[in-house]
Amino acid sequence: MSERFSPLGTLGAMHIESIAAPDLSWQEQALCAQTGADFFFPEPGSSVREAKRICGLCEMRSACLQYALANDERFGVWGGLSEKERLSLRRTHQQ
Ligand code: SF4
Protein backbone atom coordinates (compact mmCIF):
# COMPACT_ATOMS: atom_id res chain seq x y z
CA MET A 1 0.00 0.00 0.00
CA SER A 2 2.77 2.48 0.84
CA GLU A 3 4.35 1.77 -2.57
CA ARG A 4 1.27 3.16 -4.24
CA PHE A 5 1.63 6.42 -2.41
CA SER A 6 5.42 6.60 -2.34
CA PRO A 7 7.10 9.23 -4.50
CA LEU A 8 10.31 7.25 -4.00
CA GLY A 9 9.27 4.19 -6.01
CA THR A 10 9.60 0.56 -4.97
CA LEU A 11 12.95 0.77 -3.15
CA GLY A 12 11.86 3.83 -1.26
CA ALA A 13 8.60 2.15 -0.36
CA MET A 14 10.45 -0.94 0.89
CA HIS A 15 12.62 1.26 3.10
CA ILE A 16 9.59 3.08 4.45
CA GLU A 17 7.88 -0.24 5.19
CA SER A 18 10.92 -1.42 7.15
CA ILE A 19 10.80 1.76 9.22
CA ALA A 20 7.08 1.51 9.76
CA ALA A 21 7.23 -2.15 10.81
CA PRO A 22 10.29 -2.76 13.03
CA ASP A 23 11.16 -6.33 14.00
CA LEU A 24 9.34 -6.96 17.25
CA SER A 25 9.88 -10.72 17.36
CA TRP A 26 12.01 -10.34 20.51
CA GLN A 27 8.85 -9.33 22.38
CA GLU A 28 7.57 -12.89 22.07
CA GLN A 29 10.21 -13.95 24.61
CA ALA A 30 10.04 -10.85 26.79
CA LEU A 31 9.72 -11.66 30.48
CA CYS A 32 7.64 -8.54 31.05
CA ALA A 33 4.97 -10.02 28.79
CA GLN A 34 4.45 -12.61 31.52
CA THR A 35 4.45 -10.20 34.44
CA GLY A 36 2.35 -7.34 33.12
CA ALA A 37 3.29 -3.75 32.41
CA ASP A 38 2.66 -2.27 35.86
CA PHE A 39 6.22 -2.77 37.09
CA PHE A 40 7.64 -1.24 33.92
CA PHE A 41 5.49 1.88 33.77
CA PRO A 42 5.19 2.90 37.43
CA GLU A 43 3.65 6.08 38.71
CA PRO A 44 6.12 9.01 38.85
CA GLY A 45 8.39 8.68 41.84
CA SER A 46 7.64 4.97 42.31
CA SER A 47 10.36 2.36 42.43
CA VAL A 48 11.56 0.61 39.28
CA ARG A 49 13.53 -1.90 41.33
CA GLU A 50 11.28 -4.87 40.56
CA ALA A 51 11.22 -4.04 36.84
CA LYS A 52 15.01 -3.90 36.78
CA ARG A 53 15.22 -7.21 38.62
CA ILE A 54 13.02 -8.85 35.98
CA CYS A 55 15.00 -7.24 33.16
CA GLY A 56 18.15 -8.67 34.69
CA LEU A 57 16.73 -12.15 34.12
CA CYS A 58 15.42 -11.45 30.59
CA GLU A 59 17.30 -12.86 27.60
CA MET A 60 15.82 -10.15 25.37
CA ARG A 61 17.39 -7.33 27.34
CA SER A 62 19.83 -6.23 24.64
CA ALA A 63 17.24 -6.28 21.84
CA CYS A 64 14.79 -4.46 24.09
CA LEU A 65 17.24 -1.69 24.95
CA GLN A 66 18.26 -1.29 21.30
CA TYR A 67 14.62 -0.99 20.32
CA ALA A 68 13.93 1.61 23.01
CA LEU A 69 16.92 3.71 21.99
CA ALA A 70 16.18 3.43 18.26
CA ASN A 71 12.55 4.37 18.76
CA ASP A 72 13.16 7.06 21.37
CA GLU A 73 10.95 5.42 23.98
CA ARG A 74 10.64 8.10 26.65
CA PHE A 75 8.64 6.34 29.33
CA GLY A 76 9.10 3.23 31.44
CA VAL A 77 11.85 0.71 31.95
CA TRP A 78 13.27 -0.86 28.78
CA GLY A 79 16.23 -3.21 28.68
CA GLY A 80 16.80 -2.72 32.38
CA LEU A 81 17.25 1.04 32.14
CA SER A 82 14.96 3.75 33.43
CA GLU A 83 13.99 6.82 31.43
CA LYS A 84 16.76 8.86 33.04
CA GLU A 85 19.36 6.16 32.48
CA ARG A 86 18.46 5.87 28.79
CA LEU A 87 18.64 9.63 28.39
CA SER A 88 22.05 9.64 30.07
CA LEU A 89 23.25 6.80 27.84
CA ARG A 90 22.03 8.63 24.74
CA ARG A 91 23.83 11.82 25.79
CA THR A 92 27.04 9.92 26.52
CA HIS A 93 27.03 8.39 23.04
CA GLN A 94 26.29 11.73 21.36
CA GLN A 95 29.44 13.33 22.79
S1 SF4 B 1 14.53 -6.37 29.20
FE2 SF4 B 1 12.88 -5.90 30.64
S3 SF4 B 1 11.50 -4.50 29.56
FE4 SF4 B 1 12.81 -5.50 28.05
S5 SF4 B 1 11.72 -7.28 27.30
FE6 SF4 B 1 12.99 -7.96 29.00
S7 SF4 B 1 11.73 -7.80 30.84
FE8 SF4 B 1 10.73 -6.59 29.21
| Residue of higher predicted confidence among 93 and 3 | 93
Close Cβ partners of 54 (under 8 Å, ≥ 6 residues apart): 31, 32, 35, 39
The residues pairing with 78 across neighbouring beta strands, listed in sequence order, are 81
Q: What is the pLDDT of residues 2-47, one digit of tens each?
A: 333 334 444 444 445 555 677 899 999 999 999 988 999 999 889 9
Query: Which residues does ligand 1 sit against, CB inside 6 Å?
Result: 30-32, 40, 54-55, 58, 60-61, 64, 77-80
> 53 near 82, Cβ under 8 Å?
no
Residue among 78, 81, 85 whose CB has most ligand 1 atoms within 8 A, to mutate: 78
User: pLDDT of 62-91, one tens digit each?
Assistant: 999 999 999 999 999 999 999 999 999 999
**20 CA → ligand 1 middle, Å:** 22
pTM of the model: 0.77
